Amino acid sequence: MNYIVCQEPGTFLLKEGDMPQPKEGESLLRIRKIGICGTDIHAFGGTQPYFNYPRVLGHELAAEYVSGKAKGFKKGDAVSFIPYFNCGTCVACRNGLTNCCSSIQVFGVHIDGGMAEYVVVPDAYLLHGEGLDFDELALVEPLAIAAHGIRRAGVRAGETVLVMGAGPIGIGLIQFAQQVGAQVIVLDVNTHRLDFCKNELGVWAKINPLDENVIERLSALTNGDMPTVVIDATGNRKVMNNAFQYLAHGGRYVLVGLQKGELVFSHPEFHKRESTLMSSRNATREDFEYVIESIKSGKINPKKYITHRINFKDLPADFETLMAPENNVIKALVELNE
């Protein structure tokens, strides 16, 4: 069996290993598509905080069920799975917050993941394909993170939401905010992604901080009120720190993006707004099921995000091309040969 390991920052190696063997309560899956996400890019670049090397990356996965005894699953079924393995006993798990379990093991982050021809997965985390194809199934996980972020923020119809970062997670945040009736402003330095959000997603307004005074632009758009919800999907420290001043009085600031350093902000400015600051981590089964239903019903079409495809065995040599801004990558899928 072939697999790809991130040996150290900046180095992918294609290796051969034994076929994984499922134990009781586990199933063997054949990986068909792998989504490349910000976590993979940050891990490759050495900036992912929850990470040790060497590590097999990959947690945005579409697969074919091969063998096991999982109820309701049979050989050949198109499947995905929730890649956040929780303990079930900590205070978060006891309160239903399995996405932020105190000893969580995220597939492809804390433990080896899905950049492999075959993987073994606990049955409890499997998801039925529900008629979705492999492209769609590979994008369920990042969309679930976005859906969770919008639910965490408590976005309501009629609110103005500023989404910072127009990558795949940011695009998902935009669409799920629109789905509940919010008007969305997107901020990014990548003009290609801004144009995509305006032309394909119909965002209310787009802002490039390199071209405009963000505070003045937001104030003009909101008649001086500023957005009631600000969501970061950049993981960029400077962007995250600057965003406190973009928030309306009484507003909520939600951190979906992740970075290694400290947040620094003016306490008086934050305090006078009676602001709410929160993080949003991973997603729950409820979020995954909501995303699958949204794709099935046609409310979300993730295929329009896919701009690049790469063969599994070419990934070690070509991965850095996916990071180059001039290539205008929005979402890249790794494809395993039929």
> Is there a single domain that holds both residue 17 and residue 102?
yes
Ranges of the chain with pLDDT below 50: none
> Does residue 52 belong to any structural domain of this protein?
yes
Contacts for 213-219: CB closer than 8 Å, 24+ residues apart: 214/187, 214/242, 214/246, 215/245, 215/246, 218/162, 218/185, 218/246
> Is there a single domain that holds both residue 7 and residue 129?
yes
Domain CATH code at residue 165 = 3.40.50.720
235: helix, strand or coil: coil
> Is there a single domain that holds both residue 208 and residue 98?
no
> Is there a single domain that holds both residue 157 and residue 134?
no
Please give the DSSP secondary-structure letter assigned to residue 55: B
Please give the DSSP secondary-structure letter assigned to residue 111: B
> Is there a single domain that holds both residue 116 and residue 7?
yes
Domain CATH code at residue 65 = 3.90.180.10
Quote the domain boundaries for residue 46. 2-138+301-335
Predicted local distance difference test score (pLDDT) of residue 338: 60
> Is there a single domain that holds both residue 324 and residue 197?
no
Contact assessment for residue 252 and residue 276, using Cβ atoms and an 8 Å cutoff: yes
> Is there a single domain that holds both residue 132 and residue 149?
no
Contact assessment for residue 248 and residue 225, using Cβ atoms and an 8 Å cutoff: yes
Q: What angle do CA 168, 170, 175 make, to 5 degrees?
A: 95
> Does residue 331 belong to any structural domain of this protein?
yes
> Is there a single domain that holds both residue 182 and residue 255?
yes
> Does residue 61 belong to any structural domain of this protein?
yes
Predicted local distance difference test score (pLDDT) of residue 324: 85
> Is there a single domain that holds both residue 195 and residue 212?
yes
Work out whether the CA dihedral 77, 115, 144, 330 comes out positive or negative: negative
> Is there a single domain that holds both residue 11 and residue 134?
yes
> Is there a single domain that holds both residue 208 and residue 185?
yes
pLDDT tens digits, one per residue of 116-159:
999 999 999 999 999 999 999 999 999 999 999 999 999 999 99
Cis peptide before 54 (omega within 30 of 0): yes
> Is there a single domain that holds both residue 77 and residue 160?
no
Work out whether the CA dihedral 91, 94, 100, 105 comes out positive or negative: positive
Q: How many domains does the chain have?
A: 2
